[in-house]
Amino acid sequence: MLLSDILKTFSDEQTATEYLLSLGDISLVARLQRLAAAEGEAVGEFASAAVQRYASQASDEELLTLLGLISRTDDPATVCLRRALEHAVAGT
């Protein structure tokens, strides 16, 4: 599945939460929910914006790291999503 396809489903809050939980990191999801609530956004909306910020603001070094990670997986969209969300919560 493409990352853009995943993010399109995030307009539905329940779907977004279920997908985020499927990443297997409950702590990450809880931090995302807290950050989204603090911004007055739904978690899916916050996650989508976090991916967009990551794509536009990641350093060249970070993007090279990401390329290395996605080259070793069968699911690059999920790897990219997780990396972007981890950066979003680390920035707080």
Tell me which residues of the chain have a pLDDT lower than 70. Answer: 1, 92
Reduced to 3 states (helix: H, G, I; strand: E, B; else coil), residue 1 is coil
Please give the single-letter amino acid code of residue 90.
Answer: A
Residues 26 and 20: beta-carbon distance below 8 Å: no
DSSP 58: -
Backbone angles phi, psi at 3, to 5 degrees: -60, -40
Q: Into how many domains does the chain fold?
A: 1
Backbone angles phi, psi at 57, to 5 degrees: -115, -10
pLDDT for 6 equals 80
pLDDT for 38 equals 96
Backbone angles phi, psi at 71, to 5 degrees: -75, -15
pLDDT for 19 equals 86
For residues 60 and 75, give the distance between their C-alpha atoms in angstroms, rounded to a whole number. 22
pLDDT digits (tens, 9 = 90+) for 29-54: 999 999 999 999 999 899 989 988 88
pTM: 0.82
pLDDT for 92 equals 53
pLDDT for 12 equals 81
DSSP 40: T
Q: Which residues span the domain enclosing 71?
A: 3-90
